[in-house]
Homo-oligomer: A and B are copies of this chain.
Amino acid sequence: MKFQDLIEDRIRSVDAALNFYLPGENVYPQTIHRAIRYSVFAGGKRMRPLLALFTAELFNPDWKRVLPASCALELIHTYSLIHDDLPAMDNDDYRRGKPTSHKVFGEGTAILAGDALLTYAFKILAGHTFTENDFNYSYNHNVTSQLKLKVISDISRAAGLGGMISGQVVDMESECKQVDEATLDYINMHKTGALLAVSARAGAMLGGCSDEEAHIISVFGTYLGKGFQLVDDLLDVEGNEARIGKATGSDSKQGKATYISIYGSEKIRYLRDELYQKALESLEPIKNRNIGSSNLMNIRELARTILYRDH
């Protein structure tokens, strides 16, 4: 299968699983389910699920066992976008070319939709793994309860005070201030890097990797996380508005510190190349293990897709 076809195939599986988990729009009370589905199916690139599925496949052909965790990661990501866009936070009217949740459903419902997504993510993580009855799923699932708890613990750290939330706090506090490189790194590695890194790590763990391998994949995920934000900042000044779905230059308009203001675009491109190389090198130690070369090629290709995206 061509890589782009593989990506699309996996995204279809993730979307089908998300659709399976989320209550329909006709379930009472309808407003919240409409708001949830509006944001979850707003055209996200599903990068966190893809990362988890591809790192799992390094260690296990049974990638479907990671669909629940992949969905949970996407729900947590979606909740964070809804809350970040609120007037009290980044006050964004558009996201992926569509009005943000609070513009459509009002602030109260948007806050609750975010809360519901976060809560539901943990229900999914604690819940059943897919069985034969779901999606014609034919592998045996042998994710132990202990492993699930470890993944819940890791994800809650990365989504909470040990990651995303602390990043957003410092980001908010840094608005319209002169921010040094260390603070900017802190913001980005916490706000976006932590969830990306844990997506890679959780996938590998659910795939059955060893502790040592989990560490290797975490390092890989951390390079990706850092690179991801560099590219985001680059796209914010140079991207195609139609493809990004929001106005370019919006970060600087909001007085947000970005890597552009510290490095400029030229150096960002150089740093991106460097991080991409480091990410690939970080995978070297697992190269000679019992891992199919096509799976290793896929995860490298995914890293390239994430770091050299144009939207």
* Interface, chain A (partner B; CB < 8 A): 23, 28-29, 31-33, 79, 83, 86, 88-89, 106-112, 114-116, 118-120, 122-123, 125-127, 144-146, 148-150, 152-153, 156-157, 159-161, 165-166, 168-170, 172-173
Q: DSSP majority for the A interface?
A: helix
Among candidates B28, B86, B146, B153, residue contacting A123 with C-beta atoms closer than 8 Å: B153
A169 to B108 alpha-carbon distance, docked (Å): 8
A145 to B144 alpha-carbon distance, docked (Å): 9
A128 to B144 alpha-carbon distance, docked (Å): 16
**Interfacial chain B residues near A119, Cβ < 8 Å:** 118, 156, 159-161, 165
Given contacts A109-B169, A123-B152, A123-B157, 16 further A-B contacts (CB under 8 A): A29-B169, A29-B170, A31-B173, A86-B111, A88-B106, A88-B107, A88-B110, A109-B172, A111-B111, A115-B165, A119-B159, A119-B161, A120-B161, A145-B145, A145-B146, A145-B149
Given contacts A88-B108, A160-B120, contact A32 B152 (CB under 8 A): no
> Is there an interface contact between A123 and B165, defined as CB atoms closer than 8 Å?
no
**Interfacial chain B residues near A160, Cβ < 8 Å:** 115-116, 119-120, 123
| Identity of the chain B residue whose Cβ is nearest the Cβ of A168 in the assembled complex | B112
CB distance from A25 to the nearest CB of B (A): 13
**Interfacial chain B residues near A170, Cβ < 8 Å:** 29
A119 to B125 alpha-carbon distance, docked (Å): 13
A101 to B79 alpha-carbon distance, docked (Å): 21
A119 to B117 alpha-carbon distance, docked (Å): 11
**Interfacial chain B residues near A114, Cβ < 8 Å:** 115
**Interfacial chain B residues near A86, Cβ < 8 Å:** 108, 111
**Interfacial chain B residues near A172, Cβ < 8 Å:** 108-109, 112
CB distance from A177 to the nearest CB of B (A): 13
CB distance from A188 to the nearest CB of B (A): 14
**Interfacial chain B residues near A83, Cβ < 8 Å:** 111-112, 115
Among candidates B23, B120, B149, B161, residue contacting A23 with C-beta atoms closer than 8 Å: B161
A168 to B32 alpha-carbon distance, docked (Å): 10
A88 to B107 alpha-carbon distance, docked (Å): 6
CB distance from A101 to the nearest CB of B (A): 12
Among candidates B115, B126, B166, residue contacting A32 with C-beta atoms closer than 8 Å: B166
24 contacts between A and B (CB under 8 A): A23-B161, A29-B170, A31-B173, A32-B161, A32-B166, A83-B112, A88-B110, A109-B169, A114-B115, A115-B118, A116-B160, A119-B156, A120-B156, A120-B161, A122-B122, A122-B152, A122-B156, A123-B152, A123-B157, A126-B153, A126-B156, A127-B153, A145-B146, A152-B152
> Is there an interface contact between B111 and A165, defined as CB atoms closer than 8 Å?
no
**Interfacial chain B residues near A146, Cβ < 8 Å:** 145
CB distance from A226 to the nearest CB of B (A): 19
A55 to B311 alpha-carbon distance, docked (Å): 53
A153 to B145 alpha-carbon distance, docked (Å): 12
